[in-house]
Amino acid sequence: MQSENMNQPDHQENSQPWEDCPQGEVGRLVGSLRQKKRQRRAIQGAAFVGIAMMLLAVGFTLSQFLLQSSDPLLQGKGHQYAGICCEKVQSYGKEYMADTVDTKIAHKIEGHLEECQQCQSKFEIMQQELLNTTAQFFSFDQYALLQ
Ligand SMILES: [Zn+2]
């Protein structure tokens, strides 16, 4: 008597989750599995993008290195900043200020000047000299426009 009463609910408890699994439950389970799959795919995607970026970065650095070693702009005295050395920066100084230098080189010179104190001060002196000589040829109004 006692054992029968005890066994019945036990049996029901064990079998219930398997027999009447509610639809929503299955849907939720499938949904969470799909989500996990999606997460895994997202992680794989991120890893792939990371590797691709790394390869690109390595390739870019290598190509930069190869370009730099054969760049005539770097064959000279002084520091090398932004792909151009001090000697070239200073040799281009007057052209750069007259705006007659190639835009690619002008960009390099600007990049170099940001890093190189030595060239910065030389350019300041050059600019001052240029302004002084320019001032002698223009009236005050025209000189103000140039600045
Ligand atoms: Zn310099």
Q: What is the pLDDT of residue 133?
A: 80
**In a shared domain, residues 147 and 80:** yes
Distance 83 CA to ligand 1 centre (A): 11
CA of 17 to the centre of ligand 1 (A): 78
Give the distance (Å) from ligand 1 centre to CA of residue 86.
4
Q: Is residue 142 part of a domain?
A: yes
Tokens of 137: 């040829």
Encode the chain in three state secondary structure.
CHHHHHHHHHHHHHHHHHHCCCHHHHHHHHHHHHHHHHHHHHHHHHHHHHHHHHHHHHHHHHHHHHHHHCCHHHCCCCCEECCEEHHHHHHCHHHHHCCCCCHHHHHHHHHHHHHCHHHHHHHHHHHHHHHHHHHHHCCHHHHHHHC
Please tell me whether residues 63 and 84 are part of one structural domain: no
pLDDT at position 118 = 95
Does 130 lie in the same domain as 92?
yes
Look at residue 40 and tell me if it is in a domain.
Answer: yes
Do residues 59 and 82 both lie within one domain? Answer: no
- Residue 117 Cα to ligand 1 midpoint, Å, equals 7
Residue after which a domain boundary falls, among 70, 96, 131: 70
Series of mean pLDDT values for 10-residue runs along the chain (147 residues): 52 58 72 83 85 85 66 85 94 92 95 96 90 71 60
CA of 56 to the centre of ligand 1 (A): 29
108 C-alpha to ligand 1 centroid (Å): 11
Specify the number of domains making up the chain: 2
- What's residue 11's pLDDT? 52
Tell me how far apart the 2 most distant CA atoms of the chain are, in Å.
122
Residue 13 counted as domain residue: no
Question: In terms of residue numbers, what domain contains 45?
Answer: 25-70
- Ligand 1 centre to CA of 103 (Å) is 18
User: What pLDDT shows up at residue 109?
Assistant: 96
Beta bridge mates, 85? 80
Residue 16 pLDDT: 57
